[in-house]
A = this chain, B = another copy of it.
Amino acid sequence: MSEEQAEHKHWIVYPLGSKPKWGLAILLGIQQYLTMFGATVLIPFIVGGAMGLPPDQLALMISTIFFTSGLCTLIQQSPLGNKLPVIQGGTFSFLGPTFAILGLCTAELATEAGVPLWQLKIQMVSGAIMVASVVEIVLGYTGIMGQVRKIISPIVIGPTIAMIGLALFNIGAPWMAGNWIISLITLIALILYSQVFSHKSKVFMLFPVLLAIATGWLCALLGTVTGLIPDGNAANLGGKLDLIGSAAWLSFKPMMPFKWGFPNFGSSVLWAGVFGMLAGYLASMIESIGDYYACARISEAPVPTGKMISRGLGAEGLGCLIAGILQTGNGTTTYSENIGSIGLTKVASRRVVRCGAAVMLFIPIIGKFGAVLATLPQPVVGAMFVGLFGMIASVGLSNLQIVNLNNSRNLFIIGISFFAGLSVPYHFNPMLSASAVPIDWSAGGPFFAVLGNISQAILTTGMAVTALLGIVLDNFLPGASRAERGLEVWENEASDEAWEEAEAKWAAMKEGEMRPV
């Protein structure tokens, strides 16, 4: 084989500034979004379920979160954002504080407000998210968070990015287990399409994820129709197909601001929620910074500059404000899933992300289309996760190439922060372990309750633990020069000049041109 001779230097065929032809870009954009469907549908299911939403209102909430995802991704692509090919969507780090707010909403408060309890709950959660979003907007656009870059070396960011992928180990195999046959077919298809067929065919090179999902989906459909997959199995499409029938053809409701009523900003429940949400925002910001580095590295772009980090977080704050106004019941942050997907599809073009986002704006309006996508069975999504989250992990580890790994101080920091990122959340997160002991300092008064909430949010987020421990140790422990920590290489790469140079190279690419790898 000829590729066995050559040393591989690149993997991205469509870099950030490249311009795949429009038809192709739209298809590639849909592929980027497909991997996010599982998580995007899951969040409103969890939040809306906990709120006790009636089924038709839950469907509306799902449509709203898709619409918001498209809108916020476009904002991140505008001069207000960082223009990295990142996709914006719901975040798990808000779930803890959200549940805390739900616990504070009583039937009496709802009667007082003259709305059903579930509606009050949406108002309070979305209101708290709106208020707290101001903090992220300010920390972002003032450039304060961009300064964080100076204390982050590859020693910190390598394990942190790896942890973004690895920390999701509890939803890889367990989701596949819903139906091992369907999920293994999907996973083997993903491996063959992306690693074997891709060498022979351009279609498989560019669409391994889309085609693997389609393969798994078709097998699930076949199994459902023939009766081989019993009712109630995770891969059975039976009930889900009815969803397509009952979905509306056209609906503009998802775009409506305050569709479930304007929140009462004087409510003490809402303000108690704001402080809890701040912890969620902190975890989400650390994760997003990690995502920016991961996305730039997997896209083979220069290292993100301080300005880009600032604008990125500012745009995410704006996105959360919008999510609060449109009432998704959740905020927005950068999705990790599509970062892994960039590595597999070898496509990092901004045009592709924008096309995908535009499609997301339309999906909630054309209800039937969304319903079709919502039938994606969990075992198929689980198989995708195993491939994609792993890719994020190894891209993170590839940052260690510029670190001296024959220095025991570096090895110690990488190791301890990595291990703690897995071990600490396992002790504090009841979703991971039945014997977990969550932090509850509410007995110490409101101040300690908030402090406890913030600690809990950080200690249950693997990559936050890894990042914070890594930053502290890497900046305080002696025994390695800046060059050995990989900082010199990065400082040269994370410059406006490096970006200008890269942008110029991309701009010189013709419409539809692919970069040789």
Contact = CB atoms under 8 A, between A and B. Distances in A.
Contacts of A417: 390
A8 B406 contact: yes
A391 interface: yes
A390 B412 contact: yes
Contacts of A119: none
Contact of A172 (B346, B423, B479): B423
A440 B340 CA distance: 34
Interface stretch (A61-69, A215-223, A255-263, A428-436): A428-436
Interface stretch (A25-33, A322-330, A395-403, A501-509): A395-403
Contacts of A419: 165-166, 169, 172, 386, 389-390, 393
Contacts of A416: 191, 386-387, 390-391
Nearest to A477: B195
Interface residues on A, range: 35 or more
Contact of A177 (B166, B173, B427): B427
Interface string A474-492: 0001111101100000000
Given A173-B427, A420-B173, A426-B170, A415 B11 contact: no
B481 A5 contact: yes
A108 interface: no
B1 A169 contact: no
A452 interface: no
Contacts of A390: 412, 414-420
A343 to B, nearest CB: 6
Given A393-B415, A434-B434, A423 B386 contact: yes
Contacts of A433: 170, 174, 432-434
Contacts of A473: 191, 195
A287 B416 CA distance: 21
Given A165-B419, A437-B177, A478-B199, A414 B426 contact: no
A409 interface: yes
18 contacts: A4-B480, A8-B408, A8-B479, A8-B480, A11-B408, A166-B419, A169-B426, A343-B412, A344-B412, A346-B408, A386-B416, A386-B419, A386-B420, A390-B417, A392-B415, A394-B405, A394-B412, A401-B405
Interface of A: 1, 3-11, 165-166, 169-170, 172-174, 176-177, 191, 194-196, 199, 340, 343-344, 346, 386-387, 389-395, 397-398, 400-401, 404-412, 414-420, 422-424, 426-428, 432-435, 437, 473, 477-481, 483-484
Closest 7 pairs (CB-CB, A-B) = A390-B415, A172-B423, A394-B415, A390-B419, A434-B434, A11-B408, A169-B422
